[in-house]
């Protein structure tokens, strides 16, 4: 089904765009909509269950859009259209070792007994740039340990692991490197109570279980019944015993519910535009004005949903660390969502530097936003993986308060006031020596919407700006 969808991706994109389905149903990702639409229009889907119901209500409109597309292209059937030729894979194949079922050394031994050869290197002796350069040109039989993610192996793009006995047994997970970063940065210690707020299909949940060594409790929450049921089977396949699939809308879970109120770590990885996914980037085309406007409206709807989910996570009374992530490159879904949420909880939460947990990673958020430099970004061309955004948000602790009293850090409220004062001072016109008004060259730089008053970032502890908060103060967390 997926391959057939890709073969006819061009007409499907146009059919769905003309029907305005994604504009009216922002919970649907584009990739999800393409597959469901293909099954509805050309497959065997006669009734909808689970997530497909969101598309099925637009079936008449989709059929009308299909008829118009076929007429415009002078064909009677979609099979008369020439399938798109997929471009060759250019990014490595990533495989995460599922440490609940096997060790990395055991998996390497199995692979070496087949036809693969591990190329060793000393991580402390090479840079990120040097490692990524290796991934641009290596033999199909060679593989590496990943430079950033423990228990992850990197293979040539042409290597296929679907159906491999290690994959069938659940000893390895076929998961892109970028999607491992949120769980790695949440980094819950064994014994924690964790909520994965938008969990399906469960890859990140299984990674969290492995990091916790199956010790503790993970509530894997998802709003869609079918996806939740599929996730349950997947988590069982991966050998997780500390997870519980919960078929609920996360925002409907009360933060005071004694079943969930003990949560100390929450992962929020909501529905997004998916603009960082490499397959999507390779298929992207220049947009006309109408398409761009429709995408802009949809981004605003997604942004509202994402901000609601993140703010709800911040309302849980015992949560210590929240990770917010998307597979999007759009600032509207990334830095702007985090800034909005942090501003609403400015006296309670701060954005911590991702480097506290992942010091080797080089690639941060947009510096025009106060939270940006503390957030992690992956860029497909630079990092050889999907585009991703990750923010680590932590509760302002008693240790932070002590540091603030001792003058080594600022409380969030003081940081906001300080940054506002600094911005006002910078905006005041400076009179010339002869008392004349400042020249036009002294005019302040016009801000873009959502930016802080200055693009200069202060990495000082507890720093927060007018639009948001971010900082590096606080007690040191457990780093793996």
Catalytically active residues, by annotation: 327
In this structure, are residues 201 and 230 in contact, taking their beta carbons and an 8 Å threshold? yes
Among the ranges given (122-126, 238-242, 343-347, 441-445), the one the predictor scored with the smallest mean pLDDT: 441-445
Helices (H), 200-288: 203-211, 225-237, 278-283
Tell me the pTM.
0.69
Give the model's pLDDT for residue 47: 63
Q: What is the dihedral of CA 202, 208, 214, 218, to 10 degrees?
A: -70
Q: pLDDT confidence of 442, banded at 50, 70, 90?
A: very low
Q: Does 2 have pLDDT greater than 70? A: no
The pLDDT of residue 15: 87
Q: What is the pLDDT of residue 295?
A: 79
Distance between CA 335 and CA 188 in Å, rounded? 23
Q: Read off the pLDDT band of 433 (50, 70, 90).
A: very low
R_g (Cα) of the chain, nearest Å: 24
Average pLDDT rounded to a whole number, residues 60-83: 77
- Residue 113: is its pLDDT beyond 60? yes
**pLDDT at residue 446, rounded to an integer:** 46
The residues near 1 (Cβ < 8 Å, ≥ 6 apart) are 35, 38, 39, 43
């Amino acid at each position: 089904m997926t391959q057939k969808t890709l073969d006819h991706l061009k007409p499907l994109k146009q059919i769905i765009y003309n029907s305005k389905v994604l504009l009216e149903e922002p919970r649907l990702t584009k990739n999800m909509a393409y597959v469901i639409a293909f099954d509805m229009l050309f497959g065997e889907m006669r009734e909808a269950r689970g997530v497909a119901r969101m598309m099925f209500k637009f079936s008449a409109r989709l059929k009308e859009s299909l008829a118009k597309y076929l007429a415009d292209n002078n064909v009677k059937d979609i099979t008369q259209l020439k399938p798109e030729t997929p471009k060759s894979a250019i990014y490595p194949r990533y495989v995460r070792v599922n440490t609940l079922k096997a060790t990395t050394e055991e998996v390497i031994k199995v692979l070496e007994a087949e036809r693969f050869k591990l190329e060793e290197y000393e991580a402390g002796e090479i840079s990120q740039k040097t490692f990524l350069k290796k991934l641009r040109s290596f033999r199909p039989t060679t593989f590496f340990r990943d430079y950033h993610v423990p228990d992850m192996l990197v293979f040539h793009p042409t290597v296929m692991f679907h159906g491999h006995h290690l994959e069938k047994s659940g000893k390895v997970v076929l998961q892109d490197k970028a999607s491992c970063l949120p769980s790695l940065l949440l980094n819950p210690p064994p014994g924690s109570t964790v909520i994965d707020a938008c969990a399906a299909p469960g890859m990140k949940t299984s990674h969290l279980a492995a990091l916790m060594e199956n010790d503790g409790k993970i509530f894997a929450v998802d709003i869609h019944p079918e996806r939740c049921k599929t996730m349950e089977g997947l988590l069982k396949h991966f050998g997780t015993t500390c997870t519980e699939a919960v078929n609920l809308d996360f925002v409907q879970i009360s933060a005071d519910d004694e079943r969930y109120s003990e949560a100390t770590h929450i992962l929020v990885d909501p529905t997004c535009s998916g603009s960082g996914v490499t397959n999507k980037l390779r298929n992207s085309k220049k947009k006309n004005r109408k398409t761009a406007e429709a995408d802009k409206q949809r981004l605003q709807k997604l942004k509202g949903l994402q901000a609601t989910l993140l703010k709800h996570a911040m309302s849980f009374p015992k949560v210590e660390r929240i990770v917010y992530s998307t597979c999007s490159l759009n600032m509207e879904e990334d830095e702007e969502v985090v800034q909005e949420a942090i501003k609403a909880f400015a006296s309670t939460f701060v954005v911590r530097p991702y480097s506290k947990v992942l010091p080797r990673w080089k690639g941060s958020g947009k510096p025009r936003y106060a939270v940006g430099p503390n957030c992690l970004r992956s860029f497909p061309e630079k990092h050889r993986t999907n585009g991703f955004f990750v923010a680590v948000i932590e509760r302002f602790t008693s240790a932070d308060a002590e540091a603030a009293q001792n003058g080594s850090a600022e409380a969030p409220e003081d940081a906001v006031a300080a940054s506002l004062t600094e911005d006002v001072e910078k905006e005041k016109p400076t009179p010339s020596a002869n008392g004349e008004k400042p020249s036009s060259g002294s005019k302040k730089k016009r801000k873009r919407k959502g930016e802080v008053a200055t693009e200069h970032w202060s990495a000082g502890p507890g720093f927060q700006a007018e639009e948001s908060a971010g900082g590096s103060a606080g007690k040191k967390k457990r780093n793996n």
